[in-house]
Structure 1
Amino acid sequence: MKYSFRQLEVFLAAAHFQNITRAAESLAMSQSAASSALKELESQFDIQLFDRVGKRLQLNELGRLYRPKAESLLAQAKELEQAFSRHTEVGALKVGATLTIGNYLAVGVMAQYMDTPTRPRVSLEVANTQTIAERVREFELDIGLIEGELQSTDLEVIPWREDRLQVFCAPHHPLAAKGSLTDDDLRAATWIMREPGSGTRQSFERGMHGLLPDLNVLLELEHTEAIKRAVEAGLGIGCLSQVVLADAFRRGSLVPLAAPSHRSFDRQFYFILHKQKYRSAGIDRWMALCQAL
């Protein structure tokens, strides 16, 4: 074999950091050793994987082509190494989740995933749909759990479970006494909303098609708990996942509002994986635990 796994690790680290010094630091190598490993990899096959601009390394077309193949090969090698070491086949996992899923569903899955004799570690990054998709696309996350629709040539988008948004308000809000809202009620209301770019906002805007220019949005917040507190304080009404609101409805601190029947707030949660990502035993187990919820 003309290349080593270490050379591939340097290649991928350099692609991630776009700097050989930072790549070397991430691999606990000297800068000269990392630079030599990368140069040897390129010279052995008479190729160039990066365009070099000063100290910055930018993947060229060939580098972008081979990056996912190198990622997949190293992932399989690491899983084989775990098996040789007689460790569980389910290893450490890097998971990304959108806010609703990360705060209300993923933590319970993490506990189940780690509940084995070897207690494999799980890192969880919570961000909006666009950020999670980009992190999966760059191989910085093994799997993403998102609540927004996504179109990508690089990512596999797999339906997971159904969800529904719910309009809600405080018990003392004037709309709380109404049996069913009309479009005029929605126009007249003051709204506390998730930020643009979130899956929740995307689903809300789809359900409110035709009314968006007329809506009075007072606040746009990144955190669901902040939205719930603002609505409880009477600042306006909101629209969030039923998963987020279940406890508040049981306590009576918030109450559901019946949106007009012609407005649909149904949506889907999804798994996202890079199409070139190796499906390890850990990823398969994570998905199975999620589907069992």
Structure 2
Amino acid sequence: MHSSGDEILQMRAALEWYSAMGVDIALVDEPIDRFAAAAQPVKAPTKATHPANSASTNASRPPAEQSRLQPETHNVDEAKKIANAAQNLDALRAAMEQFDGCPLKHRATNLVFADGNPDAQIMLIGEAPGREEDMQGTPFVGSSGELLDRILASIGLDREQVFIANALPWRPPGNRNPTPAETAVCLPFLIRQIELVAPKVIITLGGAASKTLFETDMGILRLRGKWRELNVGAHSCVAMATLHPAYLLKQPAQKALVWRDVLSLKSKLAELN
């Protein structure tokens, strides 16, 4: 029996939706009704389960399924060690590609390291990659990236005059908010990235990146637009938070706030130079 063109399009759309939500493996061929299973009485085991039997059962599972049965670990100490050992951005990127201490890496398609000019005076730091960034391995692409480019162009800047990175280099499944453990294990890489670029100015884009770098729980609407002295590892500079382009796409009326912030950035650059 052949599927019609409409059915194929519907199946493709469903697969793309599952991918966007972070579903990357099917464990069984048919869906399981968990509500019906919960309603069934629990039977006492008739025979004890021996460790050897459990090991043989796990060994028979596919490798991808076995990896999901292991407890997730976030190796912050190892992240600090290898980040601090990197003497340049190329070495840092290579270290991050080899690092296995962040479970997000195993669900992401690509490491999203950075974009722009590593010798720039300005460093922009976003939150985490979205679906398009994850697919391309580049921060701020798609609609939010186009808006960011227009924001920069409004004060005569482009990507060759800034360095762009994210607080998290791997995409959280379904674009969910990162957990504190995920943020903590990725932070040493961001700190080392900032130290190596050594920008004069940091602009954080969005609440998550701003709260991480400024070490505060204050909301982004209260944080934005204010210049601060920021110490990150061995590097010191001035920094300001502003709204994320993705937020502006949903709340276009807030673009006026970002316009004030980029004018303030323009004045700060003139002052520093």
The TM-score, its normalising length taken from structure 2, stands at: 0.28
- Determine which structure has the larger strand proportion and give its number: 1
TM-score (norm. length: structure 1):
0.26
Which structure has more relative contact order (CA 8 Å, sep 6+)? It is 1
The structure in which a higher percent of residues are helix is 2
